[in-house]
Structure 1
Amino acid sequence: MKIKKYEIFIKKLEIYKNEFLKISKSIIQPNILSDKKKYKFLIEKYNELEKIFLLYNEFKKKIDFLKEADFIIKNDSDKEIIKFAITEKINLVKKLECIKNKLCEKIKYKKIKKDNYRNVILEIRSGTGGDEACLFVEDILRMYIMYFKKVNWGYKIINYQQGTKGYKEVIIDVYSKNKKHEIYGNLKFESGVHRVQRIPKTESQGRLHTSAITIAVLPKVENIEISINPVDIKKYTFRSSGAGGQHVNKTESAVRLVHLPSNIKVECQEERSQHKNFEKAMMVLKSKIYNNEIEKRLKDISTKRKSLILTGDRSVKIRTYNYHNNRVTDHRIHKSIHNLNEFMNGNIQEMINALRIEENKLKFL
C-alpha cells in the first residue's frame, strides 16, 4: 500500500516536473533571451521549480529502491538478505516521508510566498448602513492613502462610485517599483468585512450606529502569467457617471466586462478613452480570476488548521472600529488597539505585524 500511495503522489508532482522541463527549454530560445521582462520572469520560475524538480527526482529514486527491497522480501529465500531488505525498507520509508513533507511545504507555500511581493488591486465597497457606510468607505480610503505614504507605496484610483455622501465603491491600484516591498504580504489581511460603530453626524439624538463595508485585496498579475480567451469575455460600453463635463454625456467611454465562465464583473470609467478603460478593466479582471485560485488554496489550508486568518473569505467580519471607545479590534487574533484616531491616520502596521506573526505560527502547525 505504501508504494502505491507514493506512486500516486509522484504522479501529482509530474505537473511541476513538466513545467520545469518546459521552462528549461524556453529560457534558451532567442525570442525569450531578447525579451528581458519575460526572461526574468521565467528565470524566477525556473529557480523555484528546480528545487521541487530535484526533490522529485530524489523521491522517484527512493521509490525504485523501495520496490527492489519489497521484491527481495517477498521472493528471496536467504533470511539474512530478507532481514537486510526489511531494515532498508524501514529506512527508505522514513526518507520518503521526509522528502514528501519537504515537497508538500515547497508546493504549498511557493505561490503564497511569491504572491506576497505582488502589487495589488484594493477594492473598498459600502455595505449595510446607507450613507454612514459610504462615509466610512471615504474614511478607510483616507486611512489607506496615509498608510501608503508612510511606507512609500504608489497608488492610483482606477474607478469609483460616489454616494449621496462619501463613496459607494473605490478601486485602487497600489504599487511599488521596489520588489522588496511586500505589498500583498501586508495588505492581504485586510480582506473581509470591516464594521464601524459610531454616532453619525446626522444623528440628532446621539444614538450609536453600526454599519459595515467590505474590502477585497487582489494580487496583481502580469499579462504573461494569465491568459483569458477573448470569447469568454462580454464587453459593454456605457456613458460615464463620474466627472468629465460634456465628454461624459456624449461618448460611451466607460467599460464593463463580464467573464462568462466565472461570472466575474468589472467596470472602469475613470479614463476619457474607452481603450484605456478597457485595459484597466482587464487588469482588474485578471487579478480577480487569479485571486479566486488563491482563495481556494487558502481555504484548503485554513480548513486543515481551523484558522480564519488564512481563509481569504471576504464575507467574514474581521475588524470593528469603535469610535465611542477609541478602539479598533481585529476579531481573528482578538487584538485591540486603544488609539483609533492614530489608526485612522494610517498607523495600521502594528495590527498587520500581529497578523503576520500569527500567520507564520500557523505555517508550522
Structure 2
Amino acid sequence: MLDKLQELEQRYIELEHLLADPEVVTDPQRLAQLGRERAELEEIVSVYRELRRVDEQIAEAEQLLDGSDPELAELAADELPRLKELREQLYQDLRKRLVPKDPNDEKDVIVEIRAGTGGEEAALFAADLFRMYTRYAERQGWKTEVLSSNPTELGGFKEIIFEVRGKGAYSHLKHESGVHRVQRIPITESGGRIHTSTATVAVLPEAEEVDVQINEDDLRIEVFRSSGHGGQSVNTTDSAVRITHLPTGIVVTCQDERSQLKNRARAMAVLRARLYDLERRKLEEERTGMRRAQVGTGERAEKIRTYNFPQDRVTDHRLKLSVSNLPAVLDGELDQFISELQALEQAERLREAGIS
C-alpha cells in the first residue's frame, strides 16, 4: 500500500505543476480534466501526509521513552497510545479511499421482483419483499415509485418493477440481486404444513440516455388496453405499452398509468436499465474471464437469503449470517446485512487492487 500511496503523491505533485503550465491553462478541456484528477487525489494525499506526520511523532515519542529525562519519558508514554490509535484510524481511512470505486454506486436504481416457485404464496412473498425495500428506502430518506406491476387476487405480485431514487441507492441495494427463499405456512394451506417458495430480485443501476444509445429501428412498440385481476379491462383506451428490443429480445410492458405517454416513458427507462446492465455484465466477463461472485455484481440465479418464519430467522447464505426478529427485517431493517455485504465487497476490491 505504501508504494501505491507514494505513487499517488508523486502524481499529485506532478498535477500541481501541470495546472500552472501556460499550455494547460489555455486549454479549458485539459485544464478541467487535470483539475478533476487533482481533486480526486487531494483527500488521499492529505490523509497520507497526515499519516506520515503521525509516524514521525510516534518515532519521536519512542525515542523520548528511551531517553534520560524521566518527565519527558512519562509524557511520551501518555501520548503514544493516542498517536497509535490515530495512526490506525488514518491507515484504515486510506485503505477505504484506495478501494477502486464502482462507477454506478451513486446511481438511482430500478428493482425488479418476480414470483418464483410456489404459486400464490410466491406472489405474496414478492409483495413482502417489495414492502421491505420500500420501508428500507423510507428509512434512508429515498423516494420510490412503482413503474410496472402485475398483481394477484390475494394481494401478491407476479412481478413488480419500481424505481428507488436517492444518493448511493445502488451501492446499498446492489447485493440484493438473487433468489430469496421463504419458509412458512401459506394462508392458502389448510393442513398447517410449511412450504418453501421463492422470488427473484434484480437491482439495476438506472441508465441515462447518454449511457445507452437505443436505435428506434431496433424497437417494436405495441399498445393495448390495460387489464386488471382476472384479465378484465381497466381502461377503455389503448394506454398500455409493450416494447420489444429486437436485437436482444428484451420485452418490457408497462400498463399502470392511464397515459400511454407515461407508460412508454416508464417502459423505456426499464429497457435502458436492462440494456445497460447487460452491457455492464458483458464487460465484466471480458475483464475477469468469468462472472464475479454475488458480492460485486449480483448473480440472480443464486439463492442468497432465506426467511424462515417458524424459527423467526433470516439467513444470508453469502455471509453465513443469521439474525432473529424476522418481522423487523421485513419492515426494512436491513442495515446489518447491507453493511456486512459492503464490507465484503470492499475487502474483495482491496485484494483485486493488491492493497493489503
> Does TM, scored on the shorter chain, surpass 0.5?
yes
1:147 to 129, 133, 136: 136
Equivalences for 1:57-68 in 2 at 5 Å? none
Show structure 1 runs of 5+ residues with no match. Answer: 1-25, 29-42, 52-105
Q: Could you tell me which residue of structure 2 aligns to residue 160 of structure 1?
A: 149
Amino acid at match of 1:188: K
Q: Could you tell me which residue of structure 1 aligns to residue 159 of structure 2?
A: 169
Change (3 A) 1:296 1:344: same
Pairing 1:135–2:124 present: yes
Amino acid at match of 2:334: I
Q: Could you tell me which residue of structure 2 aligns to residue 295 of structure 1?
A: 281
Show structure 2 runs of 5+ residues with no match. Answer: 1-26, 41-97, 352-356
Separation in structure 2 between the aligned mates of residue 249 and residue 222 of structure 1, nearest angstrom: 30
Pairing 1:118–2:107 present: yes
Equivalences for 1:261-280 in 2 at 5 Å? 261-280=247-266
* Counterpart secondary structure, 1:217: strand
Q: Could you tell me which residue of structure 1 aligns to residue 192 of structure 2?
A: 206
- Report deviation, 1:184: 0.3
Change (3 A) 1:308 1:136: same
Q: Could you tell me which residue of structure 1 aligns to residue 306 of structure 2?
A: 320
Q: Could you tell me which residue of structure 2 aligns to residue 15 of structure 1?
A: none
Change (3 A) 1:217 1:308: closer
Separation in structure 1 between the aligned mates of residue 136 and residue 278 of structure 2, nearest angstrom: 26
Separation in structure 2 between the aligned mates of residue 308 and residue 302 of structure 1, nearest angstrom: 14
Give the TM-score taking structure 1 as reference length: 0.66
* Contact kept in structure 1, 2:178 and 2:299, CA below 8 Å: yes
* Counterpart secondary structure, 1:309: helix
* Contact kept in structure 1, 2:284 and 2:291, CA below 8 Å: no
Higher relative CO (Cα under 8 Å, sequence separation at least 6) belongs to 2
* Counterpart secondary structure, 2:133: helix
Q: Could you tell me which residue of structure 1 aligns to residue 226 of structure 2?
A: 240
- Report deviation, 1:242: 3.7
* Counterpart secondary structure, 1:115: coil
- Report deviation, 1:336: 1.1
Amino acid at match of 1:342: A
Separation in structure 1 between the aligned mates of residue 199 and residue 242 of structure 2, nearest angstrom: 23
* Counterpart secondary structure, 2:269: helix
Q: Could you tell me which residue of structure 1 aligns to residue 242 of structure 2?
A: 256
* Counterpart secondary structure, 1:250: coil
Could you report, residue by residue, the CA deviation over 1:297-342 in whole angstroms, capped at 9, with x for unpaired residues?
A: 4456776796332342211111111111111111112111122111
* Length, aligned pairs only: 267
Could you report, residue by residue, the CA deviation over 1:86-106 in whole angstroms, capped at 9, with x for unpaired residues?
A: xxxxxxxxxxxxxxxxxxxx9
Could you report, residue by residue, the CA deviation over 1:240-282 in whole angstroms, capped at 9, with x for unpaired residues?
A: 0149xx9844211100111111111111111111111111111
* Counterpart secondary structure, 2:112: strand
Separation in structure 1 between the aligned mates of residue 309 and residue 296 of structure 2, nearest angstrom: 28
